[in-house]
Amino acid sequence: MHAVKRIEIISDSIELPKILNSLKQSEIDRYTVFRNLESSGVSGSDEMIEMVYIIAFCAPEQLKDAIEKIRPILNRFGGSCYISDAMEVRSLNCTALI
């Protein structure tokens, strides 16, 4: 096991390409996107818009760069970002199981 940071982002789907590009620029390539979500109170608007939920994991040292790139997108277009500590459990020698 080793420590990682979990990044959870809720935003309107229009900003998804910008957010994913920011993650990739920060060399974070482990993420999952959930589309077509309904959300209340996240974007600051009561209107129904198509939302996405992005969950990404990164090494603690990658976090600052990623947040610096994501924050302006969320500040301009709305959305929320949550950061928490997590532990990753996986075999580093996956080929030994084959």
Question: What's the domain range around 62?
Answer: 2-89
Residue 18 or residue 78, greater confidence: 18
The number of C-alpha atoms within 13 Å of 78 and in the hemisphere containing its C-beta is 16
Q: What is the pLDDT of residue 36?
A: 85
3-class secondary-structure state, position 61: helix
Closest CA to 14 of 46, 40, 43: 43
Task: Give me the pLDDT at residue 40, please.
Answer: 66
Task: Give the Cα separation of 39 and 12 in Å (integer).
Answer: 10
Token pair, residue 37, equals 């979500």
**pTM given for the model:** 0.80
What total number of domains does the chain contain? Answer: 1
Average pLDDT in the chain = 86
CATH number for position 75:
3.30.70.120
Residue 1 is predicted with a pLDDT of 86
pLDDT tens figures, 6-53? 999 999 899 999 999 999 999 999 899 999 887 665 555 555 678 899
Under a CB-based contact definition with an 8 Å cutoff, are residues 73 and 21 in contact?
Answer: no
Q: Is 96 part of a structural domain of the chain? A: no
